[in-house]
Amino acid sequence: FLGSVREELDVSSKLCELAICLVAIINRADYEYMHHLPILIAAGASDLQVAALPSLINSGADVSMFNERERAVIALTREMSINVAPTEETFAEVKKALPDPQHVIEIVGVISTYNMVSRFLVTLGVEPE
């Protein structure tokens, strides 16, 4: 099931892994973060982007090293993970940055799924090996 959520989507793997890593940081799911960070790096995240990840939990974080699509996904991930639903403004930005409705649905699905996964891991105390 989780393999399909990540591997059978049209939206870019970098956007998916960026969302997954940010969900993991927000929810303090170290196991999830440690497993997905190498995938994010392999998908093309720069050293500067990786270094910025922990700060992205804050809405005022410097996101200048990310492109428009990535910034929209960061805002969506933060708002969905902390507030459950994004603001209308953020969702409008996501739809502008990801004009294909399928990509919007897919990234919302990834964020939702990995919020569930992170809560499962944290509740059961699953730690990185």
Instruction: Please report the pLDDT score of residue 129 as a whole number.
Output: 79
In a domain, 7, yes or no: no
State how many domains the chain has: 1
In a domain, 128, yes or no: no
| DSSP states of 70-100 | HHHHHHHHHHHHHHSS--HHHHHHHHHHS-S
Q: Which range, of 41-45, 103-107, 124-128, averages the lowest pLDDT?
A: 124-128
| Average pLDDT of the chain to the nearest whole number | 95
> What pLDDT digit, counting tens, does each position of 40-81 carry?
999 999 999 999 999 999 999 999 999 999 999 999 999 999
Instruction: Please report the pLDDT score of residue 2 as a whole number.
Output: 67
Task: List the Cα angle 56/64/13 in 5-degree steps.
Answer: 65
Contact 126, 22 (CB under 8 A): no
In a domain, 1, yes or no: no
**Helix count (H) and strand count (E) of the chain?**
7, 0
Looking only at Cα atoms, what is the longest distance across the chain?
40
Where in the sequence is the domain holding 34, given as residue range(s)? 12-123
| CA–CA dist 116, 120 (Å, integer) | 6
What is the mean pLDDT of the segment spanning 80-89?
Answer: 97
Q: Which residue has the tokens 């090293």?
A: 65
In a domain, 49, yes or no: yes
pLDDT at 29 over 80: yes
Instruction: Please report the pLDDT score of residue 6 as a whole number.
Output: 65
CATH classification of the domain holding 109: 1.20.1290.10
